[in-house]
Chain A
């Protein structure tokens, strides 16, 4: 059994927790969150084991990197969930974690060879900061999507639930699981904290934390890259695309602070930023790996 096979355990367990959420009749959320936490612990153990294998140098294969990224995302999601008591984030964010896990499992293994001996701490800082920033923006993306959908509902005044009938016991026991799924789903629509202001606040919080992390990560990256290629002046594609991404978030932050931009437009910008992040990751890891010091 190669190490990569362990990645499959959290995939199965996360998927299982959704099955529990849909099928279980009494307190589905409690069982769901218990399974999520449990899986997260396992995921953490795998991350530690994986990093340990490479002596925590962060010169690790790309699949482990993505696995590590999914772990950071899950950590942030759980922290936000606990901090803001917004149960639903876990439900909406975990699929992205699962997707990241699947990518890490199926991604072609690409070893990172340190072309140049760099300061190991700088590399670790670069990777952790960038991954944290990206994960925060991923969460911001999910929150923005929820915001836009929720705002649409409020503007169009359709499908607005104001009575919590999710707690009502279903009278017929043989009503099938689809019904149960819908009931549980409605329950989360009504969950505490499912409001525009909180969604926007969390989005802003992601931006406030993610932007410095991303900025610092990019600065360190540029420094590392210049050390790698012995020149600061030569502009590499990875730098251009990173700067575009950074610029989007910089504009967003500026507008928020200076003009109080919030709501729909902020959510849209967040989504645009996230698309740029995906592009950056694809660019840097697969299209021009050599510019990223990968081989």
Chain B
């Protein structure tokens, strides 16, 4: 099993390309379609369907695609190919036949296994964010996970990976001071507003759309004491709901989305975070408005990706437009305060990533263990049946019990050797000693027969992974179920 992450973020790409990508995976349906098509293209490309699990993380600063691909880690070069195959498929899907474009190739980063885990934990802990330590990203990752679960795209590895990342992010948040300093988009927006306006307390804010970031920024402006806030959204209910959220603040007005132009003549600060895929405020619309405002300056903050305000607007005098990239760059230039904390946080992330890797490596031993158990089980039941004639109902139980007793030590050692890499290749040794034939592809064929038997175990597995994590019902679930079964046994023993 390989974990592969590919994608692009605010560091690797510019806003134009991120916009392009984000348009293609804007809605849930589009994302579902995306995963389906990637799997199809992968099958067409390689002739095998090895993508077992997948998830999409899409925020305004990044679009990342996580895949779990079944395969053997010993075939390193082959797997490297899978990384490239997936990357190319995604670029092809998103940008058409622009594969030769080196710029695009560089824009998409790829990570595999340990690096991927490390990267993912960094993202979740907000170390890779535009604003280090900002809290929104974790919520966004949780949403992505829920969606992947809904699509039934997660399995054993991703379930564990996501849960571990939540845990890791929580540790980083509580054990470091990374979230303590008030540097965020909303903070930067307020500071920028202070560079334009003398007194924020007599300024009016227009909130276009009810996106998460816009909401937070609006709250920040309210805290700074702006005189009035206008809220508008295409779906009026959302605007009403947001207005209810701001119950401590009285000077708020909900306006019709078609009438926000009228407000542009009075509002001084415009926060835009809608989900629209084109410009809402256009160059030609702002020019007359500025005349009507008698050249009073207007500060526009476009937090949405794709952008909702035409960037050309910034060229009009007395209009100041900042999009998410601009703010990000400003913040980046202003951030060395958090670097120390970030170093400390990276240590935590390293620890957690290693922990996860160990767990993942221990999974490699599962086929051997399963085969070993089957073999011993088979021999025992065959031999016992020879000598015990009366068909005792407990014979299966006896066989299982003896198998467990015999194999307990070897299995523990095989698992540990796989984790510790202490030079003992016990897996190979077990293969030779017991003459086990492990054919991974063959195994998946075998799965289908075993699948029926393992439904019971699967239910138990659901209970362990939190109940809300649907298991993959595709080919790859065989090992998952086996692992869950093993874990189950272990837990029972512990009890």
The answer to whether A160 and B317 have CB atoms under 8 Å apart is no
Interface centre among A150, A160, A261 (most CB of B within 10 A): A160
Report 12 cross-chain contacts, Cβ distance below 8 Å, ordered by A residue.
A154-B195, A155-B320, A157-B326, A162-B187, A163-B334, A165-B337, A195-B195, A197-B199, A197-B297, A201-B198, A260-B296, A263-B318
Measured CA separation A154–B196 after assembly (Å): 9
Question: Which of A159, A197, A201, A265 is within 8 Å of B196, CB to CB?
Answer: A197
Q: For the complex, give the distance between the alpha carbons of A260 and B295 in Å.
A: 6
User: 0/1 per residue, A20-58, Cβ < 8 Å to B?
Assistant: 000000000000000000000000000000000000000
Given the interface contacts A162-B188, A196-B195, does A261 sit within 8 Å of B329 by beta carbon?
no
Beta-carbon contact of A154 and B320 below 8 Å:
yes
Q: Are B329 and A157 in contact (CB under 8 A)?
A: yes
Tell me the residues in window 350-397 of chain B with beta carbons closer than 8 Å to chain A beta carbons.
none
A264 close to chain B: CB less than 8 A: yes
Residue B183, interface by CB 8 Å? yes
A side interface size, CB within 8 A: 24
Q: Which residue of B lies closest to A264 (CB)?
A: B317
Bound together, the chains give a CA A260 to CA B317 distance in angstroms of 13
A5 to chain B, nearest CB (A): 43
CB of B282 within 8 A of chain A?
no
For B300-329 the 0/1 string (1 means CB < 8 A from A) is: 000000000000001001101010001001
Among residues of B, the one whose C-beta sits closest to the C-beta of A161 is: B334
B295 touches A155 (CB 8 A): no
Let me know if A194 is at the binding interface, CB within 8 A.
Answer: yes
Chain B residues within 8 Å of A195, by CB: 194-198
Nearest 9 pairs of A and B residues by beta carbon: A260-B294, A162-B191, A198-B198, A197-B198, A163-B334, A260-B295, A263-B318, A157-B326, A262-B295
B314 near A196 with CB under 8 A, answer no
A154-196 interface bits toward B, Cβ cutoff 8 Å, 1 = contact, 0 = none = 1101011111010000000000000000000000000001111
Whether A160 pairs with B195 at a CB distance below 8 angstroms is yes
Interface size of B by Cβ–Cβ distance < 8 Å?
29
Tally of contacts, chain A with chain B, CB under 8 A: 66
The answer to whether B317 and A265 touch across the interface, beta carbons within 8 angstroms, is yes
Q: Does A259 contact B (CB under 8 A)?
A: yes
CA distance A260 to B291 in the complex (A): 9
A262 CB contacts on chain B under 8 angstroms? 295-297, 318
The listed residue (B294, B317, B337) touching A259 by CB distance below 8 A is B294
Residues of B within 8 A of A (CB): 183, 187-188, 191-192, 194-199, 293-297, 314, 317-318, 320, 322, 326, 329-331, 333-335, 337
- List which A248-265 residues lie within 8 A (CB) of chain B: 259-265
Binary contact readout A61-89 vs B (1 if CB under 8 angstroms, 0 otherwise): 00000000000000000000000000000
Task: Say yes or no: A150 contacts B195, CB within 8 Å.
Answer: yes
Instruction: Give which listed residue, B294, B296, B330, contacts A157 with CB less than 8 A.
Output: B330
Contacting residues, chain A, for B322 (C-beta < 8 A): 157
- Chain A, residue nearest B330 (CB): A160
Q: How far is the CA of A150 from the CA of B297 in the complex (A)?
A: 14
Residues of the A chain whose Cβ atoms lie less than 8 Å from the Cβ of B199: 197
Known A-B contacts A157-B322, A259-B294; A163 and B183 likewise in contact (beta carbons under 8 Å) = yes
Contact A163 B320 (CB under 8 A): no
- B331: chain A residues at CB < 8 Å are 162
A162 and B330 contacting across the interface, CB-CB below 8 Å: yes
- Complex: chain A residue closest to B323, CB-CB: A157
Provide the bound-state CA to CA distance between A161 and B320, in Å.
16
Specify the chain A residue showing the minimal Cβ separation from B329: A157
> Could you tell me the distance between the alpha carbons of A61 and B163 in the complex, rounded to whole angstroms?
85
